[in-house]
Amino acid sequence: MNPQFGDYQFEIYLDGLRGVAPTQPMDFAALEERARAALPDSVWSYVAGGAGDEHTQRANVRAFERHGLVPRMLVGAERRDMSVDVFGLRLPSPLFMAPVGVVGLCAQDGHGDLATARAAARTGVPMVASTLSVDPMEDVAAEFGGTPGFFQLYTPRDRELAESLVRRAEAAGFKGIVVTLDTWVTGWRPRDLSTANFPQLRGHCLANYTSDARFRELTGSDDPQRVVLSWAGLFGNPLTWDDLPWLRSLTDLPLILKGLCHPDDVRRAKDGGVDGVYCSNHGGRQADGGLPALDALPGVVEAADGLPVLFDSGVRSGADVIKALALGATAVGVGRPYAYGLAVGGEDGLVHVLRSLLAEADLIMAVDGYPTLGDLTPQSLAVVRG
């Protein structure tokens, strides 16, 4: 028999029989606590923080608590199939690593993007690599091994620069372009404001720009201050629907729009020829006072009408992954947990977090009687009262 993701627990228990206890945290609370101790205050506040009083960030997490998976017995779920077909790719699981713009700074050696890509190669969990990275996208993609990767685009104001970034992603072997729509301007983030810290304005995570011929042409100088000022002037493009045909024309790769939470926006994106939609509120980092992304998911799935739906925001456990899948997500992204795993244990710590999420999700499917992802439907969930 081929191993199942849940077998990870037996590795841990067998190590215990040999006197080897886990060195990595086994639950999110412990992971978060150790990550806070491992990260510099400036990086911690940027990764852990959200917009405003962080109500939306907390609501994202609490939304999962309102749904309970209904157990089904006598279905013989000895073997589970968590594989998924998306964008012409066969993936071993529906889990992926959402883009985290400062994940490069979360590793102790300052090259967290490369460590994340290597973790993707080891686990089969795809990485959505951010435009904001410590290392150029070509170096990141070279570490993927046989695992597909996706490139997340913050669309710059200069169209030639946008085209250059997409062309480089294609040449590097990325399998899709994820366009983030909700971050053309930075939301109100009190944690970062209290320390007057914005990493990119300090020259961090700009390697995809400084390695780009078009950006260097626009900047006209290698002076660090000039580079940062040029980046700040080019970064935020307030896209409109009129820009969608141009975005679609940039690539033949799958085009996924990230940040869609309203069904009307989803239908319009589908009519505009996108290949997938990505339901997310940026983990509560961009706007406070909004609805949890999970509450928007069913309407997004209905409006997508068969189009793949990626989802993130508030995912902290394998149970959360299962609930998002039951509500119709095609693939589920995790953000802060893997960044914390990287901070605590480097590449091995990140791999541990991914394997733990997959193990818990797999074991829930086993215990509650859901052998395949197709068995997980909205009818599998009940509302939790009180």
Residues that are catalytic: 282
161 burial via Cβ count (<10 Å: 0-12, 13-18, 19+): buried
Whole-angstrom distance, CA of residue 65 vs CA of residue 46: 26
Q: Pick the closest to residue 199 from 112, 261, 312, 292 (CA basis).
A: 112
Decide: helix, strand or coil at residue 332.
strand
One-letter identity of residue 132: L
Q: Angle 336-368/28-38 helices, nearest 10 degrees?
A: 170
Among the listed residues 153, 134, 106, 110, the one whose alpha carbon sits nearest the alpha carbon of residue 336: 106
How close are the terminal C-alpha atoms of the chain, in Å?
42
Which of the 8 DSSP states describes residue 196? Answer: T
Q: What is the CA radius of gyration of the chain?
A: 20
Q: How far apart are CA 255 and CA 248, in angstroms?
A: 7
Which one, of 293, 100, 291, 84, lies nearest residue 180 by Cα? 100
